[in-house]
Amino acid sequence: MAEFTMELNDEQREVRDWIHGFAADVIRPAAAEWDEREETPWPVIQEAAKIGIYSLDFYAQQYFDPTGLGIPMAMEELFWGDAGIALSIVGTGLAAVGVLANGTEEQIGTWVPQMYGDADDVKVAAFCSSEPDAGSDVASMRTRAVYDEAKDEWVINGTKTWATNGGIANVHVVVASVDPELGSKGHASFIVPPNTPGLSQGQKFQKHGIRASHTAEVVLEDVRVPGSCLLGGKEKLDERLARARERAKAGGGERVKNAAMATFEASRPAVGAMAVGTARAAYEEALEYARTREQFGRPIIDNQGVAFQLADMRTSIDAARLLVWRASWMAVNGKPFTAAEGSQSKLFASETAKKVTAQAIQILGGNGFTREYPVERMHRDAAIYTIFEGTSEIQRLVIARTLSGMPIR
- Run of H or E residues at 182: none
Q: Beta strands 171-177 and 153-164: pairing type?
A: unpaired
What is the total residue count of the chain?
409
**CA dihedral in degrees (273, 389, 41, 43; nearest 10)?**
60
Q: Beta strands 125-128 and 171-177: pairing type?
A: parallel
Q: How far apart are CA 351 and CA 330, in angstroms?
A: 22
Do 295 and 302 touch, CB atoms closer than 8 A?
no
Q: For residue 124, report the phi and psi dihedrals to the nearest 5 degrees.
A: -130, 165
Q: How far apart are CA 11 and CA 137, in angstroms?
A: 42
Please return the burial class of 356, using the count of CB atoms within 10 Å of its CB with bins 0-12, 13-18 and 19+: buried
Within a 13 Å sphere around the CA of 170, how many CA atoms are in the beta-carbon half? 15
Query: In the beta sheet, which residues pair with residue 117?
Result: 122
Do 260 and 183 touch, CB atoms closer than 8 A?
no
Closest residue by Cα to residue 223 from 156, 134, 286: 156
Q: Give counts: helices (H), strands (E), the chain.
A: 14, 11
Do 77 and 339 touch, CB atoms closer than 8 A?
no
Helix, strand, coil share (%) of the chain residues, nearest 5: 60, 15, 25
Tell how far CA 135 is from the center of its chain: 15
DSSP secondary structure letters along 34-80:
HHHHTS--HHHHHHHHHHTSSSHHHHHHHHT-TTS-HHHHHHHHHHH
Task: Please say if 294 is a catalytic residue.
Answer: no
Do 189 and 233 touch, CB atoms closer than 8 A?
no
**Annotated catalytic residue, options 77, 131, 265, 389:** 389
Residue type, 109: G
User: Which positions are catalytic?
Assistant: 389
